[in-house]
Amino acid sequence: MKTVNYIKIEIPSKSTNEGLARSIAACFAAQLDPTLEEIGDIKTAVSEAVTNSIVHAYPDEIGKISIRGRIFDDNTLEIVVQDWGRGIKDIEQAMEPMFTTGGDDRSGMGFTIMESFMDKLKVKSAEGKGTTVTMRRRLSFRTGTKR
């Protein structure tokens, strides 16, 4: 696949920036002429990834979160959310539905939601070094649209 377009931004891990990250992802994906459902799915998946970084990677401090996006020539959108926080001790366990390290107010459904709204989800992490979440979604080609 060939990259057609890309973005890279960095935000502080403040909860107020979660909405910004959702909007940026939606605006970037808009060039693929997605359906409203596709946009909603992308926004939700990005929201979950960024919220995980805010809540779990940097629970006691403000750190940085990188959001990178790429569009490929087959109408695939890739969004990568990366932090340099605590990292995940056991990725397999963290990806289990209902598992959380964020306390009673967290649902433990973040990775499950990302997985259900995107075609591919890859999580890489190292304790003390951070986490990288890579999500891909191939969007439908709509009649009469060109990039």
- State the Cα–Cα distance between residues 123 and 88, nearest whole angstrom: 10
**Residue 65 burial (CB count, 10 A):** 26
Q: Which residues are catalytic?
A: 48, 52, 106
- State the Cα–Cα distance between residues 107 and 45, nearest whole angstrom: 15
3-state secondary structure of 139: coil
3-state secondary structure of 77: strand
- State the Cα–Cα distance between residues 4 and 147, nearest whole angstrom: 9
